[in-house]
Amino acid sequence: MLLIFLSFGAGIAAGLILKRKRDSLKEERALLISVVAMIFFMGASIGSDPNIKEYAASIGLSSLLFAIFMGLGSAGGAYVLRRLMPR
């Protein structure tokens, strides 16, 4: 958690310092490349888990349903909050 805040804080500090040399095209490109690379490596680390195939075959359906219900449940909670407390 500390590394997360350090990386983000260092980025903000660097952005404030380098403000005059801003290059939005390079910024967008770096962001896109790092998002794609991060998702790729996350996927690769999930795929290289030796138990993942066994898990997926045996309890894949229940896990999938849990994933969908939990994700939609949280989004639904946020929707209810938005309706209860309009801006």
Partner 1 sequence: MGGIIIGALYPSEYYSAAGELMLYALLFIIGISVGFNTETLKKAVHVLDRRMLLLPAFSIAGAMLGGALAGLIFGLPLKISLAIAAGMGWYSLAGPMLSVVSPIYGSIAFLGNIGRELLTFLTVPLKKTGPMESIAMGGATAMDTTMPVITESTGREYVLACLYNGMILSSLVPLLIGMMLSLP
Q: Would you give the DSSP letter of residue 5? A: H
11-30: contacts with partner 1 (CB under 8 A):
11-19, 22, 27, 30
In the chain, what's the furthest Cα-to-Cα distance? Answer: 56
- C-alpha to C-alpha distance for 84 and 87, rounded to whole angstroms: 10
27-56: contacts with partner 1 (CB under 8 A):
27, 30-31, 34-35, 37-53, 55-56
**Is residue 19 within a helix (H) or strand (E), and if so which, with residue range?**
none
Point out which residues bind partner 1 (CB under 8 A).
1, 3-5, 7-19, 22, 27, 30-31, 34-35, 37-53, 55-56, 58-60, 62-82, 85, 87
